[in-house]
């Protein structure tokens, strides 16, 4: 994470700066192997770019997409699991069937489907929109595990005395869910 965040400061080369790329440096092995160059610790690719620098800069994008999709998955999953477990009844049954359907498809297939639909709807999308579609596609396949876990815990907590006491004194259901049940 530190190497990714500090890539502009600590990377030996900038892989986006095409002026520094030299085709004569292409396909060099790592520095510790025969024929390696100490300027390129992990070697170079076919175009002469430093592999170590490319890894550092590429990790920035990967960590951002991964972190944002997990945060979105947690928000969706915790919210739906909390509502499903607290309300119960038909809403709970419906949301759990949606979870079952989501679990029956491979996550990569759903992510590719959403990415394909997003690219078809926005063919000239800028890079930030493509990241948004990718984050949404990954998050949409990951929320189910959080929802099931939170639903189970909520079903246990909703019958405890402190929740019943809050109901008796007239606390609103949303406040009970988010201020009493969710922290526990």
Packed helices 127-157 and 51-87: angle between N→C axes, nearest 10 degrees: 40
Please state, as a whole number, how many other Cβ atoms lie within 10 Å of the Cβ of residue 2.
Answer: 8
Q: What is the pLDDT of residues 67-109, one digit of tens each?
A: 999 999 999 999 999 999 999 899 999 999 999 998 888 877 8
> Taking 80 as the threshold, does the pLDDT of residue 117 lie above it?
yes
| Mean model confidence pLDDT for the chain | 87
Return the SS3 of 147.
helix
pLDDT of residue 165: 93
Q: What is the pLDDT of residues 140-159, one digit of tens each?
A: 888 999 999 999 999 999 88
Torsion of CA 141, 144, 145, 146, to 10 degrees: 110
> Taking 90 as the threshold, does the pLDDT of residue 22 lie above it?
no
> Taking 80 as the threshold, does the pLDDT of residue 127 lie above it?
no
What confidence category does residue 168 fall into, taking pLDDT thresholds of 50, 70 and 90? Answer: very high
Q: Which of 102, 96, 97, 92 is nearest to 140 (CA)?
A: 102
- Tokens 């969710």 correspond to 182
Residue 106 near residue 76, CB atoms below 8 Å:
no
pLDDT of residue 119: 77
Write down how long the chain is.
184
**What pTM value is reported for the model?**
0.79
């Amino acid at each position: 994470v530190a190497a990714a965040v500090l890539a502009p400061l600590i990377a030996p080369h900038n892989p986006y700066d095409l002026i520094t790329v030299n085709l004569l440096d292409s396909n060099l092995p790592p520095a510790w192997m025969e024929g390696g160059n100490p300027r390129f610790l992990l070697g170079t690719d076919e175009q002469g770019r430093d592999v170590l620098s490319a890894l550092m800069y590429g990790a920035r994008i990967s960590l951002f997409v991964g972190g944002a999709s997990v945060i979105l998955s947690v928000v969706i999953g915790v919210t739906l699991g909390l509502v499903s477990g607290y309300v119960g009844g038909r809403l709970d049954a419906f949301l759990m069937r949606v979870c079952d359907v989501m679990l029956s498809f491979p996550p990569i297939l759903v992510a590719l489907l959403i990415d394909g639909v997003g690219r078809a709807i926005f063919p000239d999308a800028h890079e930030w929109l493509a990241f948004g579609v990718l984050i949404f596609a990954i998050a949409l396949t990951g929320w189910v595990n959080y929802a099931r876990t939170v639903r189970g815990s909520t079903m246990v907590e909703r019958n405890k005395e402190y929740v019943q006491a809050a109901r008796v004194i007239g606390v609103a259901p949303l406040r009970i869910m988010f201020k009493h049940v969710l922290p526990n």
